[in-house]
Amino acid sequence: MLFRSLIAVAALAANALCADVPTISAKGSKFFFSNGTQYYIKGVAYQLTSDDPLVDGNQCKLDSALMQKLGANTIRVYHVDASQDHSSCMTTFANAGIYLFVDLDTFDTQIDPTTPSWNQTQLSLFEKVMDEFQKYPNTAGFLVGNEVLTTGNNSVAAPYVKAAARDIKAYRNSKGYRNIPVGYSAADIPALRPMLQNYLACGTNASEAVDFYSLNAYEWCGNSGYQQSGYSELEANATGYNIPIFFSETGCNKPEPRTFDDQSAIFGSDMSKTWSGAIIYEWIQESNNYGLISYGPSVAPTAPNAPPDGFTRSGTPTPISPDFDNLSKQWATVSPAAVSENAYSPSLTPPPCPAYTAGNWEVNGDVALPTLGQTYNQQIQASITGGSAAASASATPSSTSKGGASGNVEITGMGAGLSGLLFAAMLWL
């Protein structure tokens, strides 16, 4: 009992330390701090292991100090344990001016695109993550899924993603929580553009739409440009979008070194009036070679007492040169076209719901969303593809213009990488 009381006191003290941190909300197509200034995301993906990275206060202090030097104001975390105490890390990041986008799903609660489901077990576990992180002022947003849809055929899972957003938003509101935005992180699949983006925001009922949309895109590689990379196409698809949109993963790593030249487009005149920034993949160096820092030299995974996959995942972070400095310089020089919240009166309306397109988009218009616990079967599939509501418009999938990498890189990168790491960690332990 005494131990629990001490934890409660520590949590209250931690919250008091960051009580003056402005919160984040979505208004129209933009994010704003509670002080009225526009929030642009300069973020890094922060998942040191398959376990929760926000429970080691000392490690968070070491990392946050270097993130400040980088110029980061945001982290994205993919998997957390809602039963743990996160007050030390969240307070450390808050005091460093760093905000959090956290995925609500886990390895066993994510929506399966082949046999989609959305049930009470999944919702309850999503709720626990929201319960834990809603109390921190530097929680910027929640994600109901990451790269659930990766082909046109499994677009039938899109209504389940939207149902998850509907129910977790309803839970947020029923609990009287701060209006923390709820969104989705999509793989950059040309066949799904712009249908998925439009579908998650469409409809006349805002309670069923996501509050923001984000994209994992690795199109701008090496000596590319706004047109050559395909960023101009992403901008065209997002122009007029009624909710915030940003890159939830980006940072092509071929060829080396990483120059991050795309940041000047994202935060410049080409895109900053539409896009709300970018999260760079990723903080830690591991076998996929996307890291901005390392915690020491790698060793053979088969060596005695070697960490999972041979990469040390804690300690004093050391910048990887020249990538770390290249990104820091990019962020230090950008100047996005920000607007104050008082001066911003959004007039954008939701996009039309895309109609069925065989092989590319198999959801016909503004279909009725699955109810909680509804079993996916042929009848449900037919109602999704046939449309239980009138289709309002069709959308044509956009062509691709890659700079050398694609969203598929991270389908096998982040997803398989964490799964492999989880297996390796189990063996190591």
Domains and CATH numbers, the chain: 2-428 (3.20.20.80)
* In the predicted structure, residue 315 carries a pLDDT above the cut 50: yes
Q: What percent of the chain has pLDDT over 90?
A: 79
pLDDT at 37 over 80: yes
Residue 140 dihedral angles phi and psi, to the nearest 5°: -90, -30
In the structure, what pLDDT confidence band is assigned to residue 275 with cuts at 50, 70 and 90?
Answer: very high
**Least confident piece of the model among 4-18, 111-125, 362-376:** 4-18
Q: Is residue 46 pLDDT above 60, yes or no?
A: yes
pLDDT for residue 197 is more than 90 = yes
Report how far apart, in Å, the C-alpha atoms of 217 and of each of 45, 147, 202 are. Answer: 13, 11, 22
Residues serving a catalytic function are: 147, 249
Could you tell me what percentage of the chain is helix, strand and coil, using 3-state DSSP and rounding each to the nearest 5?
A: 35, 15, 50
Reference 50, options 137, 95, 99, 108; nearest CA is 108
Check whether 392 has a pLDDT greater than 80: no
Average pLDDT of span 119-132? 98
Contact 194, 341 (CB under 8 A): no
Helices vs strands, H then E, count in the chain:
12, 12
Q: Tens digits of per-residue pLDDT, 217-243?
A: 999 999 999 999 999 999 999 999 999
Beta strands in 243-362 (DSSP E): 245-250, 275-280, 293-294, 318-319
How far apart are alpha carbons 2 and 6 in whole angstroms? 6
Looking at residue 218, its pLDDT comes to: 98
Angstrom distance (rounded) from CA 245 to CA 211 = 9
Q: How far is CA 255 from CA 238, 285, 292, 305, 368, in A?
A: 28, 16, 15, 33, 45
Q: Output the pLDDT for position 416.
A: 40
pTM above 0.85, yes or no: yes
Question: Taken in order 429, 61, 10, 47, is the CA torsion positive or negative?
Answer: negative
Mean pLDDT of 266-286: 97
- The token pair at 356 is 């069925």
Buried b vs exposed e over 39-73: b needs ≥16 C-beta within 10 Å?
bbbbbbbbbbbbbbbbbbbebbebbbebbeebebb
Mean pLDDT on 114-126: 96
Query: What pLDDT, on a 0 to 100 scale, did the predictor assign at position 11?
Result: 47
Q: How confident is the model at residue 264 (pLDDT cuts 50, 70, 90)?
A: very high
Asked if residue 322 has a cis previous peptide bond (ω within 30° of 0), the answer is yes
Distance CA 197, CA 183 (A): 11
Do you find a cis peptide bond into 352, omega within 30 degrees of 0?
no
Examine the pLDDT at 260 and tell me if it is beyond 90. yes
What is the arithmetic mean of pLDDT over 273-282?
98
Q: Which amino acid is at 407?
A: G
Q: Residues near 176 by Cβ (< 8 Å), separated by ≥ 6?
A: none
* Mean pLDDT, residues 308-316 taken together: 90
